Chains A and B, each alone.
Chain A
Amino acid sequence: MNNETSYIGQPVNRVDGYAKVTGDAKYAADYNAGGLCYGVVVSAGIARGRIVRIDASAALQLEGVFQVFTHENVSGLAWFNMSYKDMDAPPGKHFRYLQTDMVTYSQQPVALVVAETFELARYAATLVNITYAADAHTTSLTGNLDKARPPKGKKTGFKKPANRGHFEKAFKAAQVTTDVTYYQGAEHHNPMEMHATTVLYYKNGSITVYDKTQGVLNTQSYVKSVFGLSGKKVKVLSPFVGGAFGSALRPQYQLFMAVLAALELKRSVKVMLTRQQMFSFGFRPITQQSLSLGALEDGSLQAISHKAISGTSQFEDYVENIVNWSGMLYHCKNVQQDYKLVSLDTYTPLDMRAPGAVTGVFGLECAMDELAYKLHMDPLELRRINYSVEDGSMKKPYSSKALMDCYEQAAARFGWSKRNPRPGSMKNGHLLTGWGMATGMWDAMTVPARAKATFTADGKLTVGSATADIGTGTYTIMTQIAAETLGLPIDHVTFQLGDASLPFAYLEGGSATAASVGTAVQQACLQIRERLLSLAKDIPDSPFRELSIEQITFADGKMYMSETPANFIHLKDILTLTATDAVNVTSTPLPNIFKQMKYAKNTHSAVFVEVQVDEELGSVKVSRVVSAVAAGRILNPKTARSQIVGGIVWGISGALYEESVMDHQFGRFINHNYAEYHIPVNLDINDIEVIFVEENDDVVNPLGVKGVGEIGQVGVAAAVANAIYHATGKRIRDLPITLDKLL
């Protein structure tokens, strides 16, 4: 027994890598069909008001333009609000495209021009003449803080802020306090691939939808309910997604537009948003948050108050967990939390990588740094002193928490012990070097997921689940889990996803996929093992007849007797010898709720950052990052590292570069293109080191996996801001920290 089929924990190359670099991997807009026509969306130029008139005559006169869909000619769609609700919808009245003359946000899609070619549709779209009656709009969060109110309703995953102890009293009694306010502007997801949907229309009225989505089942159910179609008529496929970061959690309007046009025109239709239109839907909400921390002189936290006010739309209440982290991360008896919303004339914000935590932990971890300076204490020491082995908000121990190891390993690697705490202490010419650190935290969630598996007589295994791979490596890790569980060479295993006909999987998001779908895949393969053993027992003179599954090892394409590995059988021979074509199973893992309920389940990280600030010109370079992550078992250190590095890059981006700037004259995000919406370029990103700290967890799931999609980004912006303070002595409390703020 060589056991060469051990893949979990190995840096296996992406199984879809070859298809991606050769162009074989097709994305939603890559699909074509005979008679395919193209839809281009016309976006509203005002933020609030009414469409008085839409004159599409010039567009319709062009030969090859089939239709201009507007609220004036779209009808017969679902009536109830419920029909427009999707799996990630926040509470409220979900937006109905092309069904109203009211404009509720700038860039609202108000018409769809469909033509024979993309070029023609794009040109015709410029000829659609819209007359508006504009009303005054409200787009400033900071100008409307007095209108803040509690959110209405609930959203999956949202935890209500909770108080404990007596904040006011404890804060007054504290020896050292800090009381600060932070501001973050909006950010748009902007994945590389713009949102696109291609709908293939068939004569019998059925459609195949190629959609950019983080959940094919979400797409399918939305299309079914909005357009009143039966499930049989709607096939949804999304085998490859070019990044999403949460932007494809909700069905976006190109899906609605493409399906509408296909059904109305009885033709295949493709609709792709422009880069500018990528700023026309969900985004990380504009947020102002206030933190008050009180401690004793020994550094022990006595009181934490965390209050946040975020913007939402006029029609839905988007909520995320911003303030909750302050009740979880540190040991503190008196915690006060408050979370409110202000309705603005924008579209509804949307989950964006580590939603809530990227915002709230930024505030908390900057405030901790400010407190550390007031205490004349090392910022890392302050975290150690207030380390918590339980989630104080739920009074539950963590299922595992190797954060202390993160602190130690990252600090050692970074050289933190050599830090002189005095701001400006590391100066070379006009360059000021600063070192900052922060903690990161995210949830280790499990969501419902099923998987099916088929093992065939040629020795090949196919496993499938209706999940998504948004570039994270889902294909790869699921293939690893399946191959190792059944002991097959990895190239004998195919994993399928992004197909609504596959077994149920919840939305791909929140770092829950590796744990949830991974468990379903593992369980399906375990079920196949049982079936293979049972078949093997039917073989005449089978040496396996008296054995239970615990006495068997699956490896190298064979089934071994664990005690006497010389006794084995090739897995495919089991099928051949029993005249079985294939073994099929479907798994529905049920987590051990009673065991899990006793614990808080989270991932943690410690981020250390070095910045160089040009003292004269204010420009900042992040020269070094060390991040240590505790996220349970790492299935694939290569793809996991990519996740963390990507998160760190985005954390740097949020700290220094990124903001969708609202022009309040027009109520419009005005820098809506890649030239002026800045994300870091290669030259901005320097040394990044990722350490995965060992963390064993048998509570979260049988694989011990916690997920790594979000944790990499949380805390990074705070570490950058804290490093800038160490370099310059300047506390910049609104992001991004552009150079003008440091002059």
Chain B
Amino acid sequence: MNNFTYSQATGIDNAVNEITGHEKSMFIAGGTNLIDLMKENVLHPDHLIDINGLHLTSIEFLDDGRLFLGALVTNADTAWHPEVEKKYPLLAEAILAGASPQLRNMATNGGNLMQRTRCYYFYDTSTPCNKRTPGSGCSAINGYNRIHAILGTSQHCIAVHPSDMCVALRAINAVVQVKGKAGERLIPIEHFHRLPAYTPQIDNNLAHDELITGIILPREHFNTHYKYLKVRDRASYAFALVSVAVVLRLKEGVIDEIRIALGGVAHKPWRDEGVENWLKDKPATDENFAEAADMILQEAKTFGANDFKPALAKRAIVRACREALNREI
């Protein structure tokens, strides 16, 4: 860890001004990932702007009925918030599947969107990694890639985004609200994270001078048929090998709408709207879910140690859809 300076932002505009033009400055909120990465010599900011004093700590309804989650609300407070529990239980379930209580008490909603991959090689500075050192190569492709991606990979990076919360946000169609030098803008969650392509060092489409101020959840609720299923190597405190966020709505015995978002399989939460449309008006059966899973995973590419992931993902999709369907309200 290198020496760095530290300041506390006095307001959102102040925070944005402080970071603008300073490529080696970073915002810090909960710090549960950033501090680790600094200690492991992966990230080297020369200045940290502490945003914990900003007034982004509320969860409230907007005038149009959408729910605003402040960027600085902790993951724990979000998951246990009565309106989130009532109207967006999928999100609560996903958040509580992640990390540990201690981490969820520190980690913020904005920070969760910004967390970096858990790829072993990204963390180990003795090994090449295009995400850490662009152009150095990807060690995972021919290495130990048990936790790595099967969809949307590139020859430069096969890392996965490690968040649980973001997978649920993807199913919910959340919108990320950001403020930068050029003003405020809204980024739909599907456009927030990126695929690695040629630039795996860039995780998302947030500009350096932009600050996440909140997450907006749409009005429509899926609080009857939903499921966040996380498959991992131990019962808690492990990242997903595969996770599935499902929400669905039935009409006259057939699927009216279904959304299936996957975690642990790609550089961003993965959804295939084409397959979801294919399921529309079809009976909600294991057979249809399995066929849908096959379609979602059709392009899956594996790298050795993660050869099991397509099969696991298929089973997880079917299980999650079934459990969403059969959920006792």
Contact = CB atoms under 8 A, between A and B. Distances in A.
Say whether A associates with B.
yes
A206 interface: no
Interface in B239-258: 239, 241
A665 B142 contact: yes
Contact of B143 (A45, A619, A665, A673): A665
Contacts of B315: 616-617, 743
Q: Is the interface of B mostly helix, strand, loop or mixed?
A: loop
A680 interface: yes
A43 B40 CA distance: 13
Nearest to B315: A616
B139 A665 contact: yes
Contacts of B143: 663, 665-666, 670
B71 to A, nearest CB: 24
Given A621-B235, A743-B311, A671 B41 contact: no
Given A123-B3, A617-B316, A676 B126 contact: no
Interface in B135-194: 139, 142-144, 146-147
A663 B144 contact: yes
A720 to B, nearest CB: 14
A738 B233 contact: yes
Nearest to A738: B233
B121 A670 contact: yes
Given A675-B118, A676-B118, A617 B312 contact: yes
B235 A661 contact: no
Given A673-B123, A678-B234, A666 B139 contact: yes
A45 B121 CA distance: 12
A45 B126 contact: yes
A711 B182 CA distance: 66
B43 to A, nearest CB: 12
Interface string B35-67: 000001100000000000000000000000000
Most buried by A among B144, B236, B238: B144
Contact of A119 (B1, B124, B231, B238): B1
A621 B234 CA distance: 9
B198 interface: no
Given A122-B1, A666-B139, A661 B126 contact: no
Contacts of A678: 233-234, 238
B312 A739 contact: yes
Contacts of A672: 124
B319 interface: yes
Contacts of B232: 619
B308 interface: yes
Most buried by A among B139, B312, B318: B312
A670 B118 contact: no
Contact of A681 (B1, B147, B234, B308): B234
A717 B171 CA distance: 40
A666 B311 CA distance: 29
Nearest to A671: B120
Contacts of B318: 616
Interface string A616-646: 1111010000000000000000000000000
B40 to A, nearest CB: 8
B6 interface: no
Nearest to A46: B126
Contacts of B144: 661, 663, 670-671
Contacts of B231: 617, 619, 739
Nearest to B237: A681
B277 interface: no
A230 interface: no
Sorting the interface of chain B by its residue count into under 10, 10 to 19, 20 to 34 or 35 or more gives 35 or more
Nearest to B44: A126
A684 B234 contact: yes
A678 B147 CA distance: 13
B204 interface: no
A668 interface: yes
A675 B121 CA distance: 13
Given A123-B2, A670-B144, A671-B144, A681 B236 contact: yes
Interface string A20-50: 0000000000000000000000010110000
A658 to B, nearest CB: 10
Contacts of A663: 120, 127, 139, 143-144
Contacts of B311: 743
B68 to A, nearest CB: 32
A740 interface: yes
B312 A123 contact: no
A617 B120 contact: no
Contacts of B312: 617-618, 739-740, 743
A683 interface: yes
A599 interface: no
Contacts of B120: 663, 670-671, 676
A682 interface: yes
A657 B126 contact: no
B155 to A, nearest CB: 16
Interface in B216-238: 231-238
A681 to B, nearest CB: 5
B177 to A, nearest CB: 30
Interface in A673-701: 673, 675-676, 678, 680-684
Interface of A: 43, 45-46, 106, 119, 122-123, 126, 276, 430, 616-619, 621, 656-657, 661, 663, 665-666, 668, 670-673, 675-676, 678, 680-684, 738-740, 743
Given A45-B127, A122-B1, A665-B139, 10 more contacts: A123-B2, A123-B3, A276-B40, A663-B127, A665-B142, A668-B126, A672-B124, A681-B100, A739-B312, A743-B315
CB-CB nearest 5 A-B residue pairs: A45-B126, A740-B308, A683-B235, A683-B236, A670-B120
11 contacts: A106-B126, A616-B319, A666-B126, A670-B124, A672-B124, A676-B147, A678-B234, A681-B235, A681-B237, A740-B241, A740-B308
